[in-house]
A and B are shown apart, each in its own frame.
Chain A
Amino acid sequence: MDQTGTRFYKLSFLLPGFLVLLAIILFPLLFTIRVSLSGWDAITPGLGWIGIKNYLKVFGDTRFWESMWRLGGMAIGSVIIQYVLGFALALLVWREIKFKRFFRVLFLIPMMTTPVIMTVIWRTILHESLGPANDLLGVIGLGPYPWLTSPGWSVAAIMMVEVWQWTPFMFLLLLAGLISLPREPFLAAAIDGAGPIRTFFNVTFPLLAPVSIGAVIIRLIEASKLIETVYVLTSGGPGTATETAGYYVYIKGLRDFEIGYAAALSITYLVIMMVLLTLIAKFLVKFMLGEKPQ
Chain B
Amino acid sequence: METKKITLVDVLLDDHSEDIDSVTFHVDQDGYYTVDHVILPNMDWYETSQDDYREYYNTIYVTDGEKVYKEIDGTLQECTVKEILERNIEGTTIQKCRVDIFYTAGLQNCYIWYCKQIFDSLLNTCEKNRYNDLIYARDFIWMTLNIIDYLVGFKQYLEAQRILENFQRCGGYCKDFSITKPDINCGCSR
Tell whether A pairs with B.
no
